[in-house]
Amino acid sequence: MERNMDRIYLDSNATTIVDPRVKEAMDPFFCQQYGNPNSLHSFGTEVHPAMRLAMDRLYCGIGAGDQDDIIINGCASEGNNHVLKGIWFDMIRQGPKNEILTTQVEHPCVRNSCAFLETLGAKVTFMPVNADGIVDAETLRRFLHPDRTALVSVMWANNETGLIFPVRELAEICRENGVLFHTDAVQAIGKVPVDVSRVPVDFLTFSAHKFHGPKGVGGLFIRKGLKLAPLLHGGEQMGGKRAGTVNVPYLVGMGVAMELAVENLAFEDSAVRRLRDRLEDAILAIPDTLVVGRRELRTPNTILASFRGIEGEAMIWDLNAAGVAASTGSACASESLEPNPTFVAMCISDDLAHTGIRFSLSRFTTAEEIDQAAAAIRRSAERLRGISSSYDKGK
Amino acid sequence: MAKNDLIGGALWEQYSAKVGERMNNPRHRGEISEEEAKALGARLVVADWGAEACGDAVRLYWAVDPKTHRILAAKFKSFGCGTAIASSDMMAELSMGKTVDEAMKITNIEVERSLRDNADTPAIPPQKMHCSVMAYDVIKKAASIYKGVDMASLAEEEIVCECARVGLRTIKDVIRINDLKTVEEITQFTKAGAFCKSCLRPGGHEKRKHYLVDILRDTRAEMEKEKIFAQADAGDFSAKNLIQKHRLIEKALDEKVRPALAADGGSLEVVDIREAADPRTVNVYIRYLGACRGCISSTKGTLQFIEDLLRQELSDTIRVIPL
């Protein structure tokens, strides 16, 4: 296995290492079985069994039924765009429903698609998170207007904090009220169980590279019987719902990655969680630090930590020099002076808005890596607080 | 957008080696205590600028010789990213040995240039230029504390482009003097908008009070208005249309006549203007107001004064007729 033994990767919510078993499964579909699956000849048809197996693995992985669709696409950003813009074409454009209900903490691909649809006349409402940092059932009930809400879109788990949203409850409320429900499950697959046979979502999106598959391939689950205008028009691929030649090797890889993700859920919940908690305990042992969100409400691999008096990018710099890869919480990285809505809801001081550092583990993370990373974090915190103009006075 | 902009995320690759070095080992980080300043025979100045909530804060310490106003020692502390720490370190270094007045002339561009590895390659990418501006601002703050004056009194004017420190007055003047028609030209002439580009138009990196697109539009509109006025006012009175004649008559009355009448508690209004072809005259019908009504002079001396004045200012074809 090729690994970077001298560097430690703790940024798995950004992307993950491709599992070598995934890479191996993809390999024959580059130089040997490279046919276009839409061709009539043997080059085309010989890839069908592998594609069917991959589709079976995806359907099985999220509990989809045979009458449901899983549209293979380029990424979760595409899937999220497809749902939001498709709903605009199919429902909002013709009325009478004109509202999309989403949250203040969605990924930019949801937020910016919504902002674009606002320019086309859709009404978009961004629900706040509660003191736990999540959108709860009560909030949804308060904002939901079945007569005008066309779609509710709430992420399954948050990319920055790892906080898990009560998607089942939210989806059930929407179902009861006859409102369509979409969830961006990109940070949930492989970290927590995702089963659409038990959670009545209408649309669900995911991306292979977040669960040890390749970049550039994702999936969009569409509940049986629902129509959704295509984003890409062209050939008959994906039943006309997404034109473009299917990326066969990537689909095959995503299938294997999904199967492994589901197989490893118990490992994720035990071993990865243990390592995460070990790192979290080490961080919290440093004075004046906090971690956003209660542990039991988060995906087992994620920590969004705040070190008082230390600007996030500065610590990322130090950690990078020490061979440790982490990231600033997405919202904190932007230069926007708008306070982070999660921080506001959780009563975290504005002074900490730029101090967020996200550490995200995977099933490939080792205990030695965690201990080395913890040491690097301690050294950086000490050094940067020695420079900081706000640490001494911030006490 | 073009080839080199399509793959993002290369922020740190655009830092110079000097920025990296100073981030890793800032030479002037730390504090100066009252005792240390006293030992140097200097006055201690401590200036804070920025806020953690905004992602950048810096504190500058100066030990200033009260007789020569020379900065004998400078140290800093910073809550900020790598470029903020490196810029603060360079700023402290540049200020040392200078007088307070000399230090005030250090610009963020100078801080940035001093961090370059070679003269032609910027030390930091455009979206980080504001970090160097922090260094500039904190010097201003320290100088205002030392001089015991309000910082605003040291600020030359309202800044539009924080990165290049270009003010509103400068931009307006440059547009007028050079008859600039595009935002790109403003950038070429002033460097405003060349760095983080937030001030070009709304929707950029940061929200701004002034945007170059708006300043250009408003200044061009003002220039256009002035051109119309200038054209309307120039040339022969008799060749003008009735609207322009009316405007010129009102203007002359406002400037020369009404103030004189107002001194005695009176005024007048123009009721009508009629042109006659033969003999060629412009009849201005007026009505007196206030104390002028019924005043004995209003049909004699005052009337003569008004008519003479309009004839002198505009045309001798004017006749003033009170109603």
Catalytic residues of A: 332
* Contact (CB<8Å) A350/B84: no
DSSP string, B234-293: SS-GGGS-HHHHHHHHHHHIIIIIHHHHHHTTEEEEEEEEEEETTTTEEEEEEEEEETTT
| pLDDT range class, residue A329, cuts 50, 70, 90 | low
Nearest to A389 among B78, B82, B206 (CB): B78
Q: What is the pLDDT of residue A344?
A: 75
Q: A381 φ, ψ to 5°?
A: -60, -40
Rounded to 5, what percent of chain A is helix, strand, coil? 40, 15, 45
Side-chain half-sphere exposure of B287, counting CA atoms within 13 A:
4
Question: What's at A139, amino acid-wise?
Answer: T
* CATH number belonging to the domain at B12-155, selected among 3.40.50.150, 3.40.50.300, 3.90.79.10, 3.90.1010.10: 3.90.1010.10
CA distance B204 to B284: 56
Is the per-residue pLDDT at A1 higher than 50? no
CA distance B222 to B224: 5
CB of B103 closer than 8 Å to CB of B139: yes
Q: Is the ipTM of this complex over 0.90?
A: no
Q: What is the pLDDT of residue A277?
A: 98
**Average pLDDT, whole number, for chain A?**
93
Least confident range of A106-120, A160-174, A364-378, B2-16: B2-16
Catalytic residue flag (residue B295):
no
DSSP string, A41-107: SHHHHTTHHHHHHHHHHHHHHHT--TTSEEEEES-HHHHHHHHHHHHIIIIITT-S--EEEEETT--
Q: Best residue in A390, A392, A393, A395 to probe B by mutation, most B CBs within 10 Å?
A: A390
* Contact (CB<8Å) B53/A309: no
Q: What is the pLDDT of residue B154?
A: 64
Contacts A14 to B, Cβ<8 Å: none
Q: What is the rounded radius of gyration, in angstroms, for the C-alpha atoms of chain A? A: 22
Contacts A353 to B, Cβ<8 Å: 52-53, 55
CB of B88 closer than 8 Å to CB of B134: yes
Q: What is the pLDDT of residue A335?
A: 44
Is the per-residue pLDDT at A332 higher than 70? no
Q: A310 φ, ψ to 5°?
A: -120, 125
Residue A157: beta bridge partners? A164
For residue A215, the tally of other CB atoms under 10 A from its CB is 15
Least confident range of A20-29, A143-152, B5-14, B118-127: B5-14
- In this structure, whether the domain defined by B237-322 belongs to CATH 3.30.300.130 is answered with yes
What is the chain B residue with the closest CA to A350?
B53
Domain with CATH 3.30.300.130 in chain B: 237-322
Distance from the Cα of A360 to chain B's closest Cα (Å) equals 19
CA B177, distance to chain mean position in Å, is 15
**A 131-170 near B (Cβ less than 8 A):** none
Bigger pLDDT: A377 vs A337: A377
Q: Best residue in A387, A391, A393, A395 to probe B by mutation, most B CBs within 10 Å?
A: A387
Q: What is the pLDDT of residue A394?
A: 46
Q: Is A338 on the interface with B (CB under 8 A)?
A: no
Is the per-residue pLDDT at A390 higher than 90? no
- What chain A holds in terms of domains, given with CATH numbers, is 8-16+265-384 (3.90.1150.10), 20-263 (3.40.640.10)
Bigger pLDDT: A224 vs B168: A224
Side-chain half-sphere exposure of A168, counting CA atoms within 13 A:
8
Is the per-residue pLDDT at A2 higher than 50? no
pTM confidence score: 0.78
Q: Is A108 on the interface with B (CB under 8 A)?
A: no
Block means of pLDDT (10 residues each) for chain B, length 323 residues?
72 92 96 96 93 84 96 95 93 96 86 91 81 82 90 71 79 84 84 83 84 95 90 79 88 89 88 84 90 81 89 89 88
Is the per-residue pLDDT at A317 higher than 80? yes
Q: What is the pLDDT of residue A372?
A: 97
